[in-house]
Amino acid sequence: MVAIEKPRLVVFDVEGALIPKNRFFFEVGKSLGLIKLIKLLFYGFLYEAGILKLESVLKHIFKELNGVKLETLTLIFGRIPSTPFLKNIFSQIKMRNCKIALISSGLPTVIVKKLANAVGADYAYGIEVETKDGKLTGKIWGDAIEPNGKLKILSQILTTEGLRLSDCIVVADDRNNRCVFLPGMLKIGFNPDFVIRVKADRVVNGKLSAILPIIDGKPHKRSFPSTNDFVREDIHASGFFMPVIASLIGVPIVGALIFTIALIYTISELWRLEGREFSFISAVTRHAASQSELRGFAAAPLYFAFGILFTLLVFPAPASYAAVAMFCLGDSVASLFGGLISTSLPFNKAKTWEGSLAGFFFAFLAGTFFVSPLLAFIGAAIAMTVEVLPLPVNDNVLVPVITGAALTLLI
């Protein structure tokens, strides 16, 4: 890991690190009606799937916003919850004699500057938007949306401040920032995607304030799982009973039950973002989701439900039963043990050797309820291998599906 004795500049990506990822365009689309919302979500999907490049997606999105008042976008942004205690975190960074830069490839510069003024950042860069009579024309430009544009902006800041890469720390969450994850600087992945997990020197999940000890050069310390962690992993582990129930009442009925629960959960999350409660489900979400998930749509349970549902419906028993059981119990144990240990995997800083070994052991035990010990051993090895690899598809989907496919071939 790169060591910086006295960092002088901390650079933040905005979406995903300081505000909920994709929340801005979701709220904008929602304010413009269902058709516009669907279009914006579709373009976002094309980017996430790697079908369209960021610049192309943003041009399509802002074309859809033609005629919208810039003031409207600013008001919508003002209603989006930022990272808790963000101003305090930035104040502590400034007390360490560091400059702070915000660089966004999705927000207009005027909005990024407003955020920078509110939290005390020194630099603010975003998309340049053309307006006429205060309304967007749909035209955008600027370094932030170009390939390697963030690197160009970072170079300008370093030149202005008379700093080197070794004086810099970058905090980001997604692959759009890989051009500024450079050798010689300290790179922190905050709730990162698979690309950033590989390139980061350190990974922080949960609270942004956890970057402060890293800025101070302190080694990673073991942390006891929070109450939310225990609730979330208990729910995850309870998926072990899905194949048990399926063996008693049938896969179609269990599949219909999972689908219904997922649909109700989706409605509950949409209501929660509106500030409304959906009784029991909203309460469970508050006690199970991480701090960052609570600021946006918590999609992890949907991936979890889809992974189980697809595996049970596509693969025959007992392969599907064993795959789901190993995924649910092994992954939850790995997550809990991983938070207690500090030995990160070199190719995936969000995972640990000890957590993966603990997950493997419990996945093996879960598998023995449905298949032979040998098949359970092989399945557990496959499940944990997929779980630790930094892959582009959510592991709540990949782990049960790949494990189920492998066991189906072996049985």
CATH of the domain at 93: 3.40.50.1000
| Res 357: pLDDT | 85
Mean pLDDT of 306-330: 92
Whether residues 245 and 154 fall in one domain: no
My answer on whether 316 and 391 are in the same domain is yes
Domain boundary among 182, 215, 248: 215
Residue 1 resides in a domain: no
Mean of pLDDT values over 372-386:
91
Q: Which domain holds residue 388?
A: 227-410
Q: pLDDT tier at 217 (50, 70, 90 boundaries)? A: confident
Residue 97 and residue 126 share a domain: yes
pLDDT at 67 over 90: yes
Q: Is residue 2 part of a domain?
A: no
Asked if the structure places residue 221 within a domain, the reply is: no
Whether 25 maps to a domain, the answer reads yes
Whether residues 207 and 233 share a domain: the answer is no
**Judgement on whether residues 178 and 258 belong to the same structural domain of the protein:** no
Quick one: pLDDT at residue 154? Answer: 95
Q: Answer yes or no: do 154 and 203 share one domain.
A: yes
Alpha-carbon distances, residue 240 vs 163, 233, 243, 406 (angstroms): 53, 12, 7, 19
Is residue 228 scored above 80 in pLDDT?
Answer: no
Write out pLDDT tens, residues 249-279. 999 999 999 999 889 888 887 777 777 766 6
Domain boundary among 155, 180, 215: 215
- pLDDT confidence tier of residue 289, bands split at 50, 70 and 90: low
Q: How confident is the model at residue 164 (pLDDT cuts 50, 70, 90)?
A: very high
Nearest to 305 by CA among 263, 356, 245: 263
**222 part of a folded domain:** no
- 202 & 237 share domain: no
Domains in the chain, number: 2
Give buried/exposed letters for 269-279 (b at 16+ CB in 10 A, else e).
beebbeeeebe
Residues 134 and 13 in one domain: yes
Q: For residue 122, give the amino acid letter.
A: D
Lowest mean pLDDT: which of 148-157, 339-348, 351-360, 384-393?
A: 339-348
Confidence category of residue 391, pLDDT binned at 50, 70, 90: confident
Q: How far apart are CA 96 and CA 346, in angstroms?
A: 29
Q: What is the mean pLDDT of the chain?
A: 86
Band the pLDDT of 151: cuts 50, 70, 90.
very high
Q: Which of 167, 192, 215 is the last residue of a domain?
A: 215
Same domain, 281 and 257: yes
Instruction: Identify the helix (H) or strand (E) that includes residue 103.
Output: strand 99-108
pLDDT band at 49 (very low <50, low <70, confident <90, very high): low
Beta bridge partner(s), residue 202:
188
What mean pLDDT is predicted for residues 227-244? 81
**pLDDT given at position 291:** 64
Q: Is the pLDDT of residue 375 over 80?
A: yes
pLDDT at 238: 87
Other C-beta atoms closer than 10 Å to the C-beta of 351 total: 24
* Predicted local distance difference test score (pLDDT) of residue 256: 93
202 and 271, same domain (yes or no): no
pLDDT at 221 over 90: no
Which strands make up the sheet holding 9-13, listed edge to edge? 135-141, 123-132, 99-108, 9-13, 168-172, 186-190, 202-204
What pLDDT does residue 398 have? 87
Does 147 fall in a domain?
Answer: yes
| CA distances from residue 312 to 322, 330, 411 in whole angstroms, order as listed | 10, 17, 16
How does residue 120 score in pLDDT terms, banded at 50, 70 and 90?
very high
From residue 51, give the alpha-carbon distance in Å to each of 40, 47, 72, 197, 335: 15, 6, 30, 21, 31
Mean pLDDT, residues 132-160 = 92
Quick check: 283 pLDDT over 80?
Answer: no
Based on the fold, state whether residues 202 and 257 are members of the same structural domain: no
Distance from C-alpha of 103 to C-alpha of 8, rounded to nearest angstrom: 17
| 293 in the same domain as 335 | yes
Q: Is residue 172 part of a domain?
A: yes
Residue 156 lies in a domain: yes
DSSP state of 202: E
Taking the CA atoms of the chain, what radius of gyration do you get in angstroms? 22
